[in-house]
Structure 1
Amino acid sequence: MTVPVVANLGSPGHRGWVPAGTALWVAAYAAVHAWWAVRGAPRFAEPGESFFPGGWLPVVPALLSTAAVLLISSGTERDRSTGVRWALAALGWVSGVSMVLYSFMFPLSLLMILGGLFGMDLDVMDWVTLLAQGSGALGGALTIAIATAEQRRARGACHGCGRVHGRSPRGRDAPAPSWALFAGYLTVAACLARFVAEIAHGFVSSKAPEIPWTFMITFIVLMLLAGTLLPLALVHRWGRIWPGWVLPLAGRNVPRWLVAGPGLFVGAGLATYFGIGGMTAWATGNNVDGAAWFLAIVLPAYTLWGLGLLVAASSYVSQTRPECTLSRTGTPGAAPQPQR
């Protein structure tokens, strides 16, 4: 029997509208940006929609994402060789990551919206910027998810849980691998280095008088949690299974995206904004405030912080995959072997 590949994203819980919706979304994103390239883009709030130049640049990865999603979601389970599957997965990854990188200032725009809730002056066009960046980030993330599903099929992973049985992490009870523990504690060290440098440098900014103290306190608390509690939860058992002192929930599974979602979102935001935007601006001497020693600590610390969260979150996602439902019937649901 031939099973259609109408991109179920590698698990039975997804429906065929996911790849169709993704293809439509990224195609619309490409069309809108092509229109802006010809007729002119709207006025975006500073520093703009992207750190990269606009025009036709964002159209190319969006069109490639559209092609990747349509190709991956077409055909049947047995009509592709392993090499073709890997090629399509690579196309999806490259195009999806490119869209995310173009829209990497999306977290900053969200932060500005949060600032508006705390009384900061907010330009109405910030919402246009947020929509443009969010559309690119969402389209890229969905493309990556569909590419990951094709990558699992190329590896012969199980349809029921996405694991390669016998090789993938055993589950929530198993300790995190050593590389994930290293990434988690590297994240904590980078966070502490960033705040120690800030204390030594002084919490002083040319825009400090414009920022309400309630927003500053909330921001600092959230950042400290994202640099200490979050990475530790990603690499320790208590982040996967509620510990005993959480009496109503003790022993139950922690919802995986409650921890993985912030880890991936904050990690991607820090790694791209500071790793690409901040380091490039610093290297070119472009509008970066702070003493040289301060920037030499803070920008690499932010970058390592983001990369550490991404690595730790990838381990967390693997360890918290749902139990294999197909294996309950006796044999794990291994994917059909593709043609060679």
Structure 2
Amino acid sequence: MTQVVEHPSSRTAGGAEGVPGPVGERFDRAALIGYVAFLALLLYGLAHTYWALGGDGFPFGADDANPEYSAFEHVGRDRLAPWIAGGFLGSAAVALLLALPGRRRIPARVLVGASGFSAAAVFCALADFRILGNLAYVFMLKFGAINWTVINQLFAVVSVGLMLASAIVYQRRTSGACTGCGRTGSGAGWTTPEAAARWGKRAAWTAVAVPLLYASTRWAWALGIPLGISEELWEEGKEDNLWIAGAALATMGALGSLLTLGLVQRWGEVFPRWMVGLRGRRVPLSLAVVPATLVSVMVTIAGVMYIRLHFQGAFDNQRDDWGATVPEMIWPVWGIALAAATLAYYFRRRGACRRCTRG
């Protein structure tokens, strides 16, 4: 009888059949995310080191283009830049540990937790609603609002986002799950298509309802109804045509929320008949998942900023104008619900994994 010798690179990290092990993942595209995250975080940490040493161009705190939106409105570069530099350089070290093949002596939950903490710090403290607002203005062909601070916010968000993706890959690899799809072979649980269809529908309808509540106040203002604001504030906005612009932005958000229904409807999986040239074809998975994920992140960041400003006392003089601030404070519900609906859509449509062949 011929003895078959297993090559070391075919063994799995957790003993799960069909799941690539650490050796086989050295040049894995999933692991490559970690190296990209490390490079981005390292470069941004070095940039803040440059600013901490007196370089020009620091984008945050008192040097922000609009410091009234910043969590560090009255903090100068000399105090803030060193802390941010240390945070990003530390995050770069964690990203490198996540990317390197094999296991670390540091428990996986510590590295994954550190990644989550870094992302939360950027989402809640450095980034704000201007990312979402600038996206809306881009669609309206108004590019003047984009400034150096917003560009830096985008770079920081993308960097820690890549770090989170690397943490997910690392957690899968060290737990024996497939690094591509996360399946372990049990074939049951909340990630099955049947289960995802149930909880995904509830999440999708929640993601539709919240932005419509917000849009209703802006439509009311445009129609001459000062819903949730004082007559004085409404008159001021009327003179500058602010309510027309606000209604336009709200309408864009409402239309986007209706597209969320595609995550639980047939037309979100197969192009409808009226789409000439595409009708009857399957909707590419990434065409729905990527933009929905990005919007969920931006909406959550914007909502967290309004909550932060509330606790900072920024709205203490606007208690009679609750319509201008309260609807935005529930945006994190919108963002989380949209993210959940997107995840459910992914679970329902992902099919068999090319890596581990599970389906």
TM-score by length of 1: 0.75
Shift of 1:282: 2.6
Q: Percent identity?
A: 22
Distance change >3 Å, CA 207–CA 63, structure 1 → 2 = farther
**Secondary structure of the residue that 1:161 maps to in structure 2?**
coil
How much does 1:296 deviate?
Answer: 7.1
Partners in 2 of 1:33 and 1:208 — Cα distance? 42
Q: Matches of 2:327 and 2:250 in 1, distance apart? A: 15
Matched, 1:315 2:344: yes
Letter in 2 for 1:188: V
The CA distance in 2 between the partners of 1:278 and 1:252, in whole Å, is 41
Amino acid in the other structure paired with 2:23: P
- Counterpart of 1:225 in structure 2 is 255
Q: 1:297 to 1:19 in 2, by over 3 A?
A: closer
Number of aligned residues: 316
> 1:263, CA displacement in angstroms?
2.1
Q: 1:247-266 to 2 correspondence within 5 Å? A: 248-266=277-295
Match of 2:89 in 1: 63
- CA deviation string 1:61-101 (max 9, x = no partner): 3223212221122233xx558x8333322222322333343
CA contact (8 A) 2:41 2:91 kept: yes
Deviations 1:168-217 (A, max 9, x none): 6345xx57343322222122222222222331535948566666899656
Task: List alignment gaps of at least 5 residues for structure 2.
Answer: 1-7, 10-21
Provide structure 1 residue ranges, at least 5 long, that are not aligned to the other structure.
Answer: 334-340
Spell out the pairing of 1:135-174 with structure 2 (5 A cutoff): 135-159=155-179, 161-165=181-185, 166-167=187-188, 169-171=191-193, 174=194
Q: 1:109 & 1:325 partners in 2: Cα distance?
A: 35
Distance 1:323 1:186, change over 3 A: same
Q: Equivalent residue of 2:306, what SS?
A: helix
Letter in 2 for 1:4: V
Maintained 8 Å contact 2:300/2:336: yes
C-alpha separation between the residues in 1 aligned to 2:99 and 2:209? 42
Q: Which amino acid counterpart does residue 87 of structure 1 have in structure 2?
A: V
Aligned amino acid, residue 122 of structure 1: G
Q: In the alignment, residue 39 of structure 1 is paired with which amino acid?
A: G
CA RMSD of aligned residues (A): 3.7
Of Structure 1 and Structure 2, which has the larger fraction of its residues in helix? 2
Q: Which residue of 1 is the match for residue 15 of structure 2?
A: none
Normalization by structure 2: what TM-score? 0.72
Which of 119, 127, 130 lines up with 1:108 in the alignment? 130
Confirm or deny that 1:285 pairs with 2:313. yes
For 1:183 and 1:327, the matched residues in 2 are separated by: 29
On the 8 A contact 1:270/1:303 being kept in 2, the answer is: yes
Tell me: CA distance 1:37–1:4, structure 2 relative to 1, closer, same or farther (3 Å): same
Q: Distance in 1 between matches of 2:178 and 2:108?
A: 16
- Pairing 1:303–2:332 present: yes
Structure 2 equivalent of residue 37 of structure 1 = 52
